[in-house]
Amino acid sequence: MTRNTVIGDKRVLAADFLPNRMVHRGQERQEIADALRPVLEGERPRNVLVHGPPGTGKTTMARYVVDRLEEHIDLQYGFCNCWRNSSRFKIYYRLLNEMGSRMIHRTGTPTDKLVDDFESKVRNRPSVVVLDEVDQLEDEKVLYDMTRYNRTGLIMIANQENVFYDLDERIRSSLSSRKNVRFSAYTHEEIVDILRDRRQWGLRDGAVEDELLHRIADTVSGDARVAINALRIAAEKAEKEGLEQIPEEFIDDALPEAEELTETESLDKLNSDQQALYEILRQEETLRPRELYDRYRSKVEKPKVDRTLRNYLSEMEKYGLVESRGQGTGTEYVLTD
């Protein structure tokens, strides 16, 4: 193992690294912490909806606030991404595992059993649940459930503020007392500060000039995730070539790469069949359904039946990855851009 030239601590350069202080977002942090504070006194906390565009620190902040709370109190904490786990069963399954449940629950366990276990788990101990990408939730009854647990703080994370508009009246009213916290895109200076912070803890001294951080901030339009990814990609390349400083053109090369990386990270959320469909559409621009199914069948080893593909595609449509145009015989599938 040779001595690193550029990178000090690689973990710090990951976009989802949880820093021990959050630069900026002081106001937002305060609002979330205030809403959850009653948990410390064993009282009912206020639900929180954190909303804003991608890469604005919503998820990181939620984890950060919970981390700080855990310093004061013995807390049960469950995090669940509702994109990956969209059904009621999967969410409870996930949360129970996150909270270190000793009981093993598998696909055969009735959902009600999971709900019961969860309920008894959070009844007497303060808990916080974070539901990320809550707009992807399939069964909104979960939200109703969560508001019933008196000592459980609920942080919901979404891109849009209006996620609850078309919900059932009962569920909406149970969420009506929530606190909305808006995260807007970072300003140029804020992005630079965030990058400086990562530089300080993640890179060696003198590894990258301020000027280059500004260059990154210029292109990422307020998305810290893309910015950090770009810095990491450039740093890794410099490291590989044994340089002591990141050259300007490495940054320029890394920027489009970082944009793409952030995009494909969302493709990880698709199953392999959906990825195959996505891949086909990417090569073909637009396709009629019949044609799409045919190509899919010749591409994968164990093809699923057409009806299942339709389910997959409508799911992908919900995520905003594909789009179907026209009706009847004129239907075409195309990737959204």
**List of residues contacting DNA (CB under 7 A):** 87-90, 104-113, 271, 288-291, 304-308, 310-311, 314, 324, 327-331
The token pair at 90 is: 């999967």
Cβ neighbors of 91 (< 8 A, separation 6 or more) are 80, 82, 85, 131, 142
Q: In the bound complex, what is the minimum distance in angstroms from residue 135's beta carbon to DNA? A: 18
Q: How far apart are CA 275 and CA 266, in angstroms?
A: 11
When the beta carbons of 141 and 214 are compared against DNA, the nearer one is 141
Minimum distance from CB of 287 to DNA (Å)?
Answer: 8
Q: Give the residue with the Cβ less far from DNA, 87 or 221.
A: 87
**Least distance between DNA and beta carbon 321 (Å):** 15
Say how far residue 184 (Cα) sits from the centre of its chain. 16
- Strand order from edge to edge, sheet including 286-287: 286-287, 332-335, 322-325
**What distance in Å separates the CA atoms of residue 118 and residue 112, rounded to the nearest whole number?**
10
Q: Least CB distance from residue 322 to DNA, whole Å?
A: 11
Nearest distance from C-beta of residue 309 to DNA, angstroms: 8
For DNA, which is the closer residue by CB, 117 or 239? Answer: 117
The per-residue DSSP string of 319-335 comes to TTSEEEESSGGG-EEEE
Q: Which is nearer to DNA, 30 or 314 (CB)?
A: 314
**Residue 253 vs 306, nearer CB to DNA:** 306
Shorter beta-carbon distance to DNA: residue 87 or 275: 87
Cβ at position 311, least distance to DNA in Å: 6
Q: How far is the CB of 121 from DNA (least distance, A)?
A: 15
| Strand intervals (E) in the chain | 48-51, 76-81, 127-132, 152-158, 179-182, 286-287, 322-325, 332-335
* 140-148 contact pairs (CB < 8 A, 24+): 140/167, 140/168, 140/171, 141/88, 141/171, 142/88, 142/91, 142/92, 143/167, 143/171, 143/174, 143/175, 144/170, 144/171, 144/174, 145/88, 145/115, 146/47, 147/47, 147/174, 147/175, 148/174
The residues, any chain, with a CB within 8 Å of residue 45's CB and separated by 6 or more, are: 35, 36, 37, 38, 39, 128, 151, 152, 153, 154
Nearer to DNA, 109 or 266 (CB): 109
- Nearer Cβ to DNA, position 14 or 305? 305
Compute the least distance from the CB of residue 103 to DNA, in Å: 7
